[in-house]
């Protein structure tokens, strides 16, 4: 026993059997020696497969991921530079476009103001309907030039009655509120907005402001945004920035805030500064109604009807402006289930839209070929497809797997420099949360699995590609009142509440990290162990380990 050595095979990165298992092979050379020969043969076959099949495929995957990572970091550097230029040289919208405050005319009176439609689509919004209706009705604008349209698709009769009662309350205060309902939810939000635009009273409106049910604009919102549309006929959309009222509710909302602030401060700011395309966020924006009509109106072919409309408006030559100084209060999803549903829709929808609109982009005659290529490559391919795929594939699959295949090495550019650059660029949006950057990295890597599946579902149009799940809002309370529906809902079993794919990834990463710790030379285990823990915690997230816990 003392003289035994661990069973090894030439070319293996670590002993095939530990000392205490290999000792009996040395002690009984007759039967166990034959068994050892068979094991050597099996291991040699595995090594041959690894060297001649797995290693070349992994090498190809490494370089594909390197190309996608380079594309992604290049996009982020360009957007960051444009955003920095806008800030340093004060290239704000008020300096790039004509903006004159709205005032009553001595002769025309309030007729000097254009008629504005405010649309508020909602679906069973028990917790926030009063806030959203109140904020819309409280906008500073002549009452005879403002129409507030509440598009209620609620299926809960009790909530419907409450929303209608709230509308009547504001009607009695002199606000022109229109309460609109439908017989079905065809087209979901896009269907509701489209039907709302067909009403007779809309014909007199020039502009439409859209707010989701959890958004609360300040009273001067229209006074700050409408002048851009009035004095610049080439502008179709004025997009405002979101400000989150519950960002400090839990660690998950803090991490979300970092990603969303980057989206507004860098992605949308740079797009507006460079006069290139940036998408409508679906809310907290004002559209020119004639632009919506010229673009073909609302379509429900994907779950991102807002982006669909924006792309089609861009294709017919309209421009957009992002006004970062105008903030609209909103709510981040604070439950893990709601956040996952939102992220699935946000990842799947753009990928599916790209599949459906790609040929339309190249067929249009109102954009130069350069702008067409920029829209396809920058907005869709790099940011909406490759970004979700490479984050999971490279950092959670390829790099950990390279530990098991020593024939393959990953360049330091991909392991260290590119992810470090991306991390630093993403942190500039929310400097106050820089100390949470490590949590943001691991959280985003775990969510990349969910987003990649959603992206592939959208690209290949399979699975839940057209499923619309409304993001649940909690309003000012994390304990929503019980409804008859929630009382009847049965609690699913634990196996149906945990995320098996995330738990499986945690096991795989833990194994890779342990092998790297004992036999590796690249010290990948420093980040793979924490990543494995993150996958494990978020795999159990639906049990209440992630986000706000809301009792049934």
pLDDT digits (tens, 9 = 90+) for 313-334: 999 999 999 999 999 999 999 9
The percent of residues above 90 in pLDDT, for the chain, comes to 74
C-alpha–C-alpha distance, residues 53 and 407, integer Å:
11
Place of tokens 């839940």: 464
Report the 10 Å Cβ neighbour count for 53. Answer: 10
In a 10 Å sphere around its CB, with 0-12 CB exposed, 13-18 middle and 19+ buried, how is residue 20 labelled? exposed
C-alpha–C-alpha distance, residues 288 and 161, integer Å:
32
Mean pLDDT, residues 8-24 taken together:
51
Residue 3 scores a pLDDT above 90: no
Residue 10 scores a pLDDT above 60: no
Task: Return the structure tokens found at 225.
Answer: 């945004």
C-alpha–C-alpha distance, residues 259 and 355, integer Å:
25
C-alpha–C-alpha distance, residues 450 and 314, integer Å:
30
Q: What is the mean pLDDT of the chain?
A: 89
Q: Mind listing the pLDDT tens digit for each residue in 403-458?
A: 999 999 999 999 999 999 999 888 888 888 889 999 999 999 999 999 999 999 99
Give the model's pLDDT for residue 210. 98
Mean pLDDT, residues 469-492 taken together:
52
The percent of residues above 70 in pLDDT, for the chain, comes to 89
Residue 279 scores a pLDDT above 50: yes
Q: How many CA atoms lie within 13 A of 314 on its CB side?
A: 27
Please confirm, yes or no, whether 300 is among the known catalytic residues: no
Catalytic-labelled residue, pool 152, 261, 306, 516:
306
Catalytic-labelled residue, pool 152, 153, 214, 308:
153
Report the 10 Å Cβ neighbour count for 190. Answer: 24
Residue 23 scores a pLDDT above 80: no
Task: Return the structure tokens found at 170.
Answer: 């504001």
Q: Give the E-state strand segments of 283-434 in sequence order.
A: 285-288, 319-330
Residue 395 scores a pLDDT above 80: yes
C-alpha–C-alpha distance, residues 547 and 533, integer Å:
16
More confident residue, 384 or 491: 384
Beta bridge partners of 238: 286, 321
pLDDT band at 490 (very low <50, low <70, confident <90, very high): very low
The CA R_g of the chain, rounded to the nearest whole Å, is: 28
pLDDT band at 30 (very low <50, low <70, confident <90, very high): low
Buried/exposed 323-342: b ≥16 CB within 10 Å, e otherwise:
bbebbbbbbbbbbbbbbbbb
Task: Give the Cα-Cα-Cα angle 507, 512, 516 (nearest 5 degrees).
Answer: 145
Please confirm, yes or no, whether 153 is among the known catalytic residues: yes
Give the model's pLDDT for residue 29. 61
More confident residue, 112 or 65: 65
Q: Which of 22-31, 345-354, 406-415, 418-427 shows the lowest per-residue confidence on average (mean pLDDT)?
A: 22-31
Size of the chain, expressed as the number of residues it contains: 552
Give the model's pLDDT for residue 38. 82
pLDDT band at 35 (very low <50, low <70, confident <90, very high): confident
C-alpha–C-alpha distance, residues 10 and 523, integer Å:
23
Give the model's pLDDT for residue 426. 87
Give the model's pLDDT for residue 294. 97
């Amino acid at each position: 026993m003392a003289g035994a050595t661990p069973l090894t095979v030439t070319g293996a990165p670590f002993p095939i059997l530990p000392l205490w298992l290999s000792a009996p092979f040395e002690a009984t050379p007759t039967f166990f020696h034959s068994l050892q020969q068979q094991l050597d043969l099996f291991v040699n076959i595995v090594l041959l497969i690894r060297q001649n099949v797995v290693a070349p495929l992994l090498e190809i995957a490494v370089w594909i991921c390197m190309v996608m990572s380079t594309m992604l970091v290049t996009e982020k550097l360009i957007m960051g530079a444009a955003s920095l230029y806008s800030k340093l040289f004060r290239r704000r919208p008020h300096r790039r476009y004509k903006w004159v405050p709205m005032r009553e005319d001595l002769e025309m009176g309030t007729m000097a103001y254009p008629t504005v439609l405010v649309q508020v689509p909602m679906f069973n919004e028990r917790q926030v309907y009063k806030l959203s209706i109140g904020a819309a009705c409280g906008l500073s604008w002549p009452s005879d030039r403002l129409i507030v349209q509440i598009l209620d698709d609620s299926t809960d009769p009790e909530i419907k009655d409450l929303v209608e009662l709230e509308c009547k309350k504001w009607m009695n205060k002199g606000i022109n509120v229109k309460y609109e309902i439908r017989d079905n939810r065809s087209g979901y939000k896009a269907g509701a907005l489209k039907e709302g635009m067909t009403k007779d009273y809309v014909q007199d409106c020039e502009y439409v402001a859209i707010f989701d049910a959890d958004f609360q604009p300040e009273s001067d919102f229209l006074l700050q945004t409408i002048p851009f549309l009035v004095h610049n006929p080439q502008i179709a959309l004025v997009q405002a920035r979101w400000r989150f009222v519950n960002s400090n509710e839990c660690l998950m909302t803090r991490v979300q805030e970092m990603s969303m602030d980057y989206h507004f401060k860098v992605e949308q700011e740079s797009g507006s500064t460079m006069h290139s395309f940036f998408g409508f966020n679906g809310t907290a924006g004002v559209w020119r109604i004639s632009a919506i009509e010229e673009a073909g109106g609302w379509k429900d072919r994907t779950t991102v009807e807002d982006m669909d409309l924006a792309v089609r408006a861009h294709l017919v030559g309209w421009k957009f402006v992002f006004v970062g100084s105008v903030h609209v209060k909103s709510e981040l999803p604070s439950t893990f289930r709601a956040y996952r549903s939102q992220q699935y829709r946000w990842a799947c929808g753009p990928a599916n839209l790209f599949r459906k609109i790609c040929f339309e982009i190249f067929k249009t005659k109102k954009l130069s070929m350069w702008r067409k290529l920029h829209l396809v490559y920058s907005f869709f391919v790099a940011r909406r497809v490759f970004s979700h795929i490479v984050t999971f594939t490279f950092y959670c699959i390829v790099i950990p797997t390279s530990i098991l295949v020593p024939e393959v090495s990953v360049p330091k550019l991909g392991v260290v420099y590119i992810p470090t650059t991306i991390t630093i660029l993403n942190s500039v949006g929310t400097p106050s949360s820089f100390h949470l950057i490590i949590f943001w990295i691991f959280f985003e890597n775990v969510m990349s699995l969910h987003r990649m599946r959603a992206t592939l579902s959208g690209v290949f149009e399979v699975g839940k590609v057209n499923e619309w799940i409304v993001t649940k809002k909690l309003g000012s309370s994390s304990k929503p009142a019980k409804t008859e529906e929630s009382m009847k809902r049965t609690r699913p079993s634990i196996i149906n509440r945990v995320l098996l794919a995330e738990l499986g990834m945690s096991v795989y990463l833990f194994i890779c990290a342990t092998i790297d710790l004992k036999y590796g030379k690249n010290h990948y285990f420093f980040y793979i162990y924490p990543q494995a823990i993150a996958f494990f915690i978020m795999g159990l997230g639906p049990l209440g380990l992630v986000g706000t816990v809301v009792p049934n």
